[in-house]
Chain A
């Protein structure tokens, strides 16, 4: 590694260097004799600005800067699944083995284990004409993920030789390709520059829902595979619990969970819990389909900025194998703050609230890497992005929330007052939206129930009516409303308590299959329609409240009726009908006095 310059100025994570060698923009460099990892983020005349991904304490003017000749990159290959990395893809287990309980700087450890042998099974035969992205062979990476070894994008030629089925390390040659510029050897590792999007053949419209098992999301504000969603909310409103629920229960093939500037204990929580929890689709431990990236709030801020790109590059790689990948980023606000901090040290002209003017375009280029695509090898794959946003004071008018809204299509607005009342998930049904509802409707109607669209519409309608009625109630009390409207309030309360609220800690309630979601909603809408008829005939609301006895059971149904046996809901419906009929009978007689 050549010395390409020396340090002239240091302030926190940003240093300046005088260029003496062949330093290039966005090159990955190593700073000082500690060999701290950095990246060239600006050049002017003979001075380079470098952001350093490790603690810069102790760095002084005159210290050398070494070049690597490469942009900041990740290693792609078998051995990623089930692992936990820091923001620049250093394996945290290895760091711990080398430096103990606390993270020390200057430790280099490759992301992929160089010793471990993987069983490689070739797919292509020698003589085949190859294009970038094609599947050379496969490796069982975990019990859930078959790793498909891809020809690096951009490479094409004739396959001269491919290794026979057998055990290989990631650095052993497994294929040789004749290219116009000569013969090239391939191993199971490829490097990818994190800031570049991986290529694909074609974009598909995201019209298959990502089923999350969270009722308020799947039913009211769905997200599609390959879609983008933001979860904004003040502290303690439930962003992390929601993202973890999605990581646990959604029907993606692979989860990439980025703890970006958040708590250490939250990462530990995932590390302890995921190996124990079983994926509801396969019955295998969730960790077998999860990759964690942890750059906690007290870890170096520049690596926090990189963590998002590291994560999305891994996601695209598995997408290119033909998987549906879901990426959770908690929290994109901390990433934006890392941008702001570095920008501030560069003395760039700030736009709103100190954020750099390019905040919007950076957010856009992150969210644009989501999508459902036809890969270079003709398979279908997707990357879904769910980004948490942590607005100061929970106020959504701030720059990060505002810019994010321009690039996402599902917006799950978390509400502090709902959280304070322990209404979880605290998704505010009036402020949230999803642009995927029309796209995924067909799937729901084909696969689950033809009345899905209608149920949603009616539910939203009741909730909206309730919001207006509550305004009146606040002024004059509920007694001033006619019974038909008081009945709307009653049903809305049931929708909230029996359907929207979902306890992530409850073994049954944590996750609802689509059939259960629809069945619950059908029951609630039936309650509304039959009940409204009875009220219209003159039955007073007080009688309905008292003589219908299923309320507590209805509210508890989500946690008492298991996903694989919904018959309890039928019984509730029968009882409801019986009790409503009973009341109705009295008013039928009223209408036809004998």
Chain B
């Protein structure tokens, strides 16, 4: 039997000795302090793991403005009627009970010399290591005619919660035979299959409640994640309902008028009843304020997710620019654990093990028709690099698809427990 394509690790102790960072004591104060900004897939996981594994040796503060975290993952299933909004909301009580100091506030600035994070509510929090996992914000002017003041008329629903509820309400209120439009984002953006899973879930809802309605998708891309699987699914389940306009057909030449409720694709004006605008994305603004971004994202070192700009600031999840991993909750969670291990090692001298990353994204196309795509990754000098991967095949049996969907439900419980305790 062959052990592994890659090198067999002779002794973990030897590896740890090579990799563990020199011990950095807390600078002149008692316990070392870690501040985490953003309690989502990346930040909650990092805070929880550092608190859990350091067993009280490190002070962990999490700064997160919302008291209830609504996962974007499964928010499409909420639109489709497979989940209630309450199923995708999670509180921070578990983290607090696990020893994390949870501060409900916005971080509004980072003083890298003083090593403090300023809060919107006043005051500041000192850190030895700062972990930013703020998710995404939208690029100004990305879609002509749309800005944040238009997000009620034309919701993005790409941060879950009230936006998801709004989009669902609009979907329900659509007139019979009406038009649901989506403006899809350019790469890179959070959750590559997300817009297309959403199209599937909207189609499912309309098929039940509004079968003569139409869906039009204006897309600045030529192809998208799991494209063959989604298109097969749309044909099988929602024949004739979905009109996907890719960049070849002007899908990138788009403007909207939220007052008139029109969408213009390549000069052609369409009246729409619901318009889901998902603009181009960038790192959550605090990353930029901390001065760790380069362009729209924050470049990081693959081995520990520390930023290229500042060795004491780490960026996780969607906001980071790390290489080959898609921007997903699974990825953010995976990166958080590598980072937690490294941060703990740097602050307390605990063993640091080699970085290993993985991701799997499940998508639901129709009831019991689930598909998945996944890959494993490793840290190289240059980036997080893909090692191996798989994707569901077209034409799979309904048993396989059902099992895939059930697996995604298991994953959802697993990851939310892993994040929130």
Answer whether A and B are interacting partners.
no
Which residues of A are at the interface with B, using a C-beta cutoff of 8 A?
none
